[in-house]
Amino acid sequence: MRRDWRDTISVAADLALVGIVVTAASVPVLTAGAALRTGSAAVRAIADGEGVDARAMWRLFRSSLLPGALAVAVAAACGALLVFNVGAVASGRVPGGSPALAGTCVAAAVLLAIGMLGIVRLGRDTSRSGWLDALRWAGRTAWRQPGAAAAVAGVSAVAAALAVMVPLTAPLLVGYALYGAHAVTARMVKAPTVA
């Protein structure tokens, strides 16, 4: 079924609104995990042509607060370690130079892919999947289907680069990045709902 241009504009506006709401809900930082899971579920509903049920999203957000806060803490620790590693290698304090820097960048891309695949999984399976199950699935998927993982990481990296270049668009790009990750996962990942 072909979409009318008005439908395309409507979906784009909905995705932008999801991005703004996820960004606003992530301001306290520890709520970012719950906000991303809820935003992922909203993007899935939009992509599937369903309406977004605000009450269901609020329930999902509330039930995801504690597990999401733990996930944010772990992600922040991993991110800090990667930034420290890149800084140490780039400044020459750690031997290895360019190969070590390239290896660190590859590790960052793999972690980004696993994180985004996990968020897609959490948005697709809101009733059963927890963060740990979703990340296990994402890790197995990245290992077995590296092309799909690279595509998800690429979509996420492009959105991040655009947000850095034009910071005013960053909240909007959150919704589009989630949509891109869902689209790539639906198209490239074989059996995306199998745990």
Mean per-residue pLDDT pooled into runs of 10, the chain (195 residues): 75 92 92 94 91 91 92 90 84 78 86 93 83 92 93 93 93 94 91 49
pTM of the model: 0.87
pLDDT at 51: 82
Domain boundaries, the chain: 5-188
Evaluate whether 64 touches 87 at the Cβ level (below 8 Å). no
Q: Are 94 and 156 in contact (CB under 8 A)?
A: no
| Number of Cβ within a 10 Å radius of residue 59 | 13
Structure tokens at 105: 């960048």
